[in-house]
Amino acid sequence: MLKTYDFGRKLFKTNKMLKTNDLGRKMLKTYEFGRNLLKTNDFGRKLFKTNDRRRKCLKRTI
């Protein structure tokens, strides 16, 4: 495993992955922002679920 690990480290150095990794990290920040948006969306979905219940109740009364 150590040999392959060293090989991977050499690849990492030659690949100039660090710069793209920074780009990836920036993407992750926007992804986290998106996830936070999704959490608020989940809140909205919960509201929708209660809304669905109301609709079902309305259908029963009508």
Structural domain count, the chain: 1
CA distance 11 to 46: 47
Q: Which tens digit of pLDDT belongs to each residue from 9-52?
A: 666 665 555 566 666 666 666 666 666 766 666 666 666 666 66
Decide if pLDDT at 7 tops 60: yes
Residue 53 pLDDT greater than 60, yes or no: yes
CA pair distance 54, 52, nearest whole angstrom: 5
Q: Looking at the predicted structure, is the pLDDT value of residue 1 above 60?
A: no
Q: What is the pLDDT of residue 57?
A: 63
The DSSP H or E segment spanning 34 is helix 17-61
Amino acid, res. 29: K
Query: Which band of pLDDT confidence, cut at 50, 70 and 90, is reported for residue 8?
Result: low
Domain that residue 21 falls in: 2-61
